[in-house]
Structure 1
Amino acid sequence: MLRVLTAGESHGPELVAIMEGLPAGVPISSDAIRADLARRKLGYGRGSRMKFEEDELTISSGVRHGLTLGSPIALRIGNTEWPKWVEVMNPEPTELTEKSRGRGAALTRPRPGHADLVGMQKYDFDEARPILERASARETAARVALGALARAFLSELGIRLVSHTLSIGPMRVPEDASLPTPDDVDVLDADPLRCFDAATSARMVAEVDDARRAGDTLGGVVEVLAYGLPPGLGSHVHWDRRLDGKLAQALMSIQAIKGVEVGDGFVTTTRRGSQAHDELFATAEGIARASDRAGGTEGGMSTGTVLRVRAGMKPIATVPHALRTIDVATGTAATAHHQRSDVCAVPAAGVVAEAMTAIVLAEAVLEKFGGDSVGETRRNLLSYLDALPDALRTTPASDAAAAATDAGV
């Protein structure tokens, strides 16, 4: 069983991330985790905070000499801006000095689209600071670090992931555009919006520029692709064990995500049944699917084809043209508090979605194949694939076996 936990506030001293259940023997690189944390800050349209707020990574436990021990892994992500917020966010009772009084002023004008007002109601606070500090997307840095651990485990089994941007506002990649592979990550990260189609990327950049000039923000859609999955992860037998359901919950939990689809998702609802499903046919290597409209899952289980899952991000709610609200201290009409904001954070959402997908897939792999060491997990996976009857073998399953075998060399 894989368990993850994050703790920490946006302007606190650090974020803490814990993962329990990762097998022993997984190669872990601090540089690889730092690289993913840096990728979370990528994207045209990001705000100034990405430039001066550094993530100071420390691996506190669970890893020795670059390999996991099988014990809980604890990560700390220090906030270099903490010295400016010591008084405002101090866990001890503190009187604010004149220097910190402005930064620590009560936030009584809740921002529409944020957790501010509902959180104040739920937790009985008279201002939004105690809510927004935890609700902030800063918390996703901890998720990305945990996702790096999960991806390191999956890569040992030949399972690799990549994410990319499908749309920014109305600008969308053509439906017939080629899909990126994990070998294209560097190309994607070099693109201003992590888009795999250069012409669409240029239109996206222009859209971001237009929104910035208008004092507005943009959302969009990201897609995560997972290659090398075996068939049979997840289950059809109960709602909470379905792989597609777990993916949907994980991606919907990301701040500002308002929709999730697997494969062709909502487009499939516009098709007739004869055009909506992936027909099967025989090949010399085994059963193959004529298409991948289902996006790598059927009946709540992985099919062994490429997994495709998409997440739709709403426009950032902290709009430079501050939205109308109520000052709860006076009951009068007001404009919402305006914190530093991005125009567009969709590329970063793709990196976070990739991390969450990796965590879900790592959990599904361990549920199916177990193993106290990564070698044991690999043997169990290969044994499962080898035991499939010839009449039931699918071509991607053979590819998954080859990938797992290669990863163990």
Structure 2
Amino acid sequence: MLRVLTAGESHGPELVAIMEGLPSGVPISLDDIRADLARRKLGYGRGSRMKFEEDELAISGGVRHGLSMGSPIALRIGNTEWPKWVEVMSPEPVELTEKSRGRGAALTRPRPGHADLVGMQKYAFDESRPILERASARETAARVALGTLARSFLAELGIRLVSHTLSIGPVRVPDDAELPTPDDVDTLDADPLRCFDPETSARMVAEVDAARRDGDTLGGIVEVLAYGLPPGLGSHVHWDRRLDGKLAQAIMSIQAIKGVEVGDGFETTRRRGSAAHDELFATGDGITRGSDRAGGTEGGMSTGTVLRVRAGMKPIATVPHSLRTVDVATGDTATAHHQRSDVCAVPAAGVVAEAMVAIVLAESVLEKFGGDSIGETRRNLTSYLASIPETLRTTSASEAALLSDDLA
């Protein structure tokens, strides 16, 4: 069983991330985690905070000489901006100095679209600082770090992931556009919006520029693709064991995500049944699907084809215009606090979504195949694929079996 926890606040001294259940022998690299943390800051339309706020990464336990030990892995992501917030975010009661009084002013004008007002109601606070600090998307840095661990584990089994941007506001990649593969990550990361279609990317940049001029913000859609999955992850027997259900929950838990699709998702609802499903055909290499509209899952289980999961991100709620709100200290109409200056954070959402999909897939792999070491998990996966009768094998499963033979 794989368990993950994060702790820490946006302007606190550090974020803490813990992963329990990762088998021993998985390569763990500080440089790889740092690279993914840097990828989380990518994207045209990000604010100045991404430039001056550095992530100081350290491993506190669970890794020795570059390999996981099977014990819980603890990561710390220090915030270089912490010295400016020591008094405001002090765990001990303090008297604010003149220098800290501005930052420490009570935030009594909750921001529409954020957790501010509901969090104040739920946790009985008269200002939003204690809410927005934890609700902040800064927490996703810890998730991305944990996702790097999960992706390293999956890579040892021949499972690789890639994310890309499908749309920014009304600008969307054509339906017939080529899908990226894990070998295209560097190309995607070099693109301003992490879009795999250059022409669409240029139109996205123009859309971000227009929103910035108008003092507005943009949302969009990202897609995560997982290659090399075996068939049979997840289960149809209970609602909480369905792979697509787990993926949907994980993606929806990301700040600002308001919708999830697997495969063709909502587009499938506009088709007739004869054009909505993936027909099966017999080939010399096994059973193959004539299409991949289902996006790699059927009946709550992976099919062995490419997994496709999409996430819809709303426009950033902290609009430079400052939306109308109520000052809860006075009851008067007011404008909301302005905490950040991003126009668009959709490309970063793709990196976070990729991390969450990796964590869910790693958990599902361990649920199916177990293993206290990566070698044991690999042997169990190889044995499972080899045990599928010839009459039931799909072409993708045959490829996975060959790959597992190479890994054994």
Q: Tell me which interval the TM-score lies in, with the shorter structure as reference length.
A: over 0.9
The residue aligned with 2:70 is: 70
List gaps (5 residues or longer) in structure 1: none
Matched, 1:44 2:68: no
The residue aligned with 1:146 is: 146
The residue aligned with 1:17 is: 17
Give, in angstroms, the shift of residue 329 of structure 1. 0.1
The residue aligned with 1:2 is: 2
Query: Residue 156 of structure 1 contacts residue 404 of structure 1 at CA under 8 Å; is this kept in 2?
Result: no
1:224-275 deviation digits (Å, cap 9, x = unpaired):
0000000000000000000000000000000000000000000000000000
- Normalised by the length of structure 2, the TM-score is 1.00
Matched, 1:306 2:288: no
Match runs of 1:93-172 below 5 Å: 93-172=93-172
Cα distance in 1 between the residues matched to 2:342 and 2:60: 32
Cα distance in 2 between the residues matched to 1:94 and 1:329: 22
Partner SS state of residue 269, structure 1:
helix
Cα distance in 2 between the residues matched to 1:10 and 1:350: 20
Cα distance in 1 between the residues matched to 2:69 and 2:273: 49
The farther-off stretch of 348-357 and 393-402 is 393-402
- Normalised by the length of structure 1, the TM-score is 0.99
Cα distance in 2 between the residues matched to 1:120 and 1:340: 20
Cα distance in 2 between the residues matched to 1:378 and 1:77: 31
Cα distance in 2 between the residues matched to 1:85 and 1:152: 34
The residue aligned with 1:377 is: 377
Cα distance in 2 between the residues matched to 1:393 and 1:142: 39
Cα distance in 2 between the residues matched to 1:319 and 1:404: 49
Cα distance in 1 between the residues matched to 2:162 and 2:375: 24
Q: Give the letter aligned to residue 319 of structure 2.
A: V
1:183-239 deviation digits (Å, cap 9, x = unpaired):
000000000000000000000000000000000000000000000000000000000
Match runs of 1:305-324 below 5 Å: 305-324=305-324
Q: Give the letter aligned to residue 400 of structure 2.
A: A
Aligned residues: CA RMSD:
0.6
The residue aligned with 2:33 is: 33
Matched, 1:335 2:335: yes
Q: Give the letter aligned to residue 198 of structure 1.
A: P
Cα distance in 1 between the residues matched to 2:141 and 2:285: 42
Query: Residue 158 of structure 1 contacts residue 406 of structure 1 at CA under 8 Å; is this kept in 2?
Result: no
Q: Give the paired residue count.
A: 408
Partner SS state of residue 78, structure 1:
strand
Cα distance in 1 between the residues matched to 2:406 and 2:383: 15
List gaps (5 residues or longer) in structure 2: none
Cα distance in 2 between the residues matched to 1:48 and 1:354: 24
Mark the CA change 1:134 to 1:242 in structure 2 (over 3 Å): closer, same or farther: same
Give, in angstroms, the shift of residue 407 of structure 1. 4.1
The residue aligned with 2:279 is: 279
Partner SS state of residue 270, structure 2:
coil
Q: How many percent of aligned residue pairs carry the same amino acid?
A: 87
Give, in angstroms, the shift of residue 57 of structure 1. 0.5
Cα distance in 2 between the residues matched to 1:81 and 1:8: 14
The residue aligned with 1:92 is: 92
The residue aligned with 1:244 is: 244
Q: Give the letter aligned to residue 78 of structure 2.
A: G
Cα distance in 2 between the residues matched to 1:79 and 1:339: 17
